[in-house]
Structure 1
Amino acid sequence: MFRRRESVPFSFVAEADRFRSNITPPPRERTSVSQLAGRSLIGLTVVAGLVGSLILGLPALSPTQSLSHSQQTEAAHGR
């Protein structure tokens, strides 16, 4: 293996972790009323979709006790 000819300034490497820039970022723009309304409408649409899918999906996930009960009563009446 070959060695590097130039040395690494370790003080620079140590200072790199705590370097602070003297340039401040530009201030954030304030959100307008229309942007807030749009974001809230999108959020409400997503929540309404999740709630609607949960409401429509719960009957499919419930055990079918009523169906098996009606089949048993029909079999008892058929005898």
Structure 2
Amino acid sequence: MSRRREPIPFAFLAEADTFRSNVTPPPRHRASFGEAAGRWLLGLTVVAGLVGALIIGMPALSTPSDAPVPQSQASQGR
């Protein structure tokens, strides 16, 4: 391993790419069937709520195209 002769700030960062740990990480915890089903059900509930809000909100977002434009009585009198 070669060392730099000039001091550099944060020298430990320069050596971090050559560091190898001899500690193995613990094995990943697999979710049980109940946890996986709960996550799936929660995701499905969120998506269904968003779709339901969009379906309920569509009439408020649309403009009626067949309704005539209302005119005030003052403009009809002249």
User: Could you tell me which residue of structure 2 aligns to residue 28 of structure 1?
Assistant: 28
Number of residues of Structure 1 aligned to a counterpart in Structure 2: 64
Alpha-carbon distance change, 9 to 53 in structure 1, aligned in 2, over 3 angstroms: closer
Structure 2 CA distance, aligned partners of 1:8 and 1:70?
A: 79
Normalising by structure 2, what TM-score?
Answer: 0.65
Which aligned runs of 4 or more in structure 1 are off by greater than 3 angstroms? 7-10, 69-72
Structure 2 CA distance, aligned partners of 1:36 and 1:16?
A: 37
User: Could you tell me which residue of structure 1 aligns to residue 15 of structure 2?
Assistant: 15
Structure 1: tracts of 5 or more residues without a match:
1-6, 73-79
Cα-Cα RMSD: 2.9
Structure 1 CA distance, aligned partners of 2:18 and 2:58?
A: 55
Structure 2: tracts of 5 or more residues without a match:
1-5, 72-78
Normalising by structure 1, what TM-score?
Answer: 0.65
User: Could you tell me which residue of structure 2 aligns to residue 50 of structure 1?
Assistant: 50
Structure with greater helix share of residues:
1
Structure 2 CA distance, aligned partners of 1:15 and 1:71?
A: 76
Alpha-carbon distance change, 71 to 29 in structure 1, aligned in 2, over 3 angstroms: same
Q: Deviations over 1:4-48 (max 9, x none)?
A: xxx8489x6432233121101100111100001100110000000
User: Could you tell me which residue of structure 2 aligns to residue 75 of structure 1?
Assistant: none
Alpha-carbon distance change, 63 to 15 in structure 1, aligned in 2, over 3 angstroms: same
